[in-house]
Amino acid sequence: MNVPPVLGVAGAGYFARFHLEAWQRLHAEGAVMLAAIAEPDAGRRSAAMKEFGIAKGFADVAGMIAAIRPDVLDIATPPETHLPLVRLAAQEGVACISQKPLAPTYPQAVELVEIAEQAGILLAVHENFRWMPWYLEMKRCLESGMIGRPHTIAVRMRPGDGQGPDAYLGRQPYFQKMPRFWVHETAIHFIDSFRFLLGEVTSVGALLSRRNPFIAGEDSGYITLQFGDGPTAMIDGNRLNEHPADDMRLTMGEHWLEGSAGVLRLDGYGRLFWKPHRGPEREHVYQWRVTGFAGDCVYRQQQHLIGAIAGNLKPVNTGRDYLRNYEIEEAVYRAHDERRFIDV
How is the chain split into domains, by residue range?
Answer: 6-126, 130-295+326-343
- Partnered with residue 235 across adjacent β-strands are 155, 223
- Element (DSSP H or E) covering residue 7: strand 6-10
Nearest 10 degrees: CA dihedral of 89, 90, 93, 95?
A: 70
Biggest distance spanned by C-alpha atoms of the chain: 64
Residue type, 308: A
Compute the distance between CA of residue 4 and CA of residue 7 in angstroms, rounded to an integer. Answer: 9
195-254, pLDDT tens digit by residue? 999 999 999 999 999 999 999 999 999 999 999 888 999 999 999 999 999 999 999 999
279-299, pLDDT tens digit by residue? 999 999 999 988 899 999 999
Q: How confident is the model at residue 171 (pLDDT cuts 50, 70, 90)?
A: confident
CATH of domain 6-126: 3.40.50.720
Domains 6-126 and 130-295+326-343 share a fold: no
Q: CATH: 3.40.50.2300, 3.40.50.1700, 3.40.50.300, 3.30.360.10. Which one for 130-295+326-343?
A: 3.30.360.10
For the entire predicted model, the pTM comes to 0.94
Strands of the sheet containing 220-226, edge to edge, are 282-284, 272-276, 262-266, 253-259, 150-157, 232-238, 220-226, 203-209, 342-343
Question: Going by C-beta distance under 8 Å and a sequence separation of 6 or more, which residues neighbour residue 264?
Answer: 138, 141, 146, 147, 256, 257, 258, 272, 273, 274, 284
Handedness of CA 75, 113, 305, 308 (dihedral sign): negative
Backbone angles phi, psi at 85, to 5 degrees: -70, -40
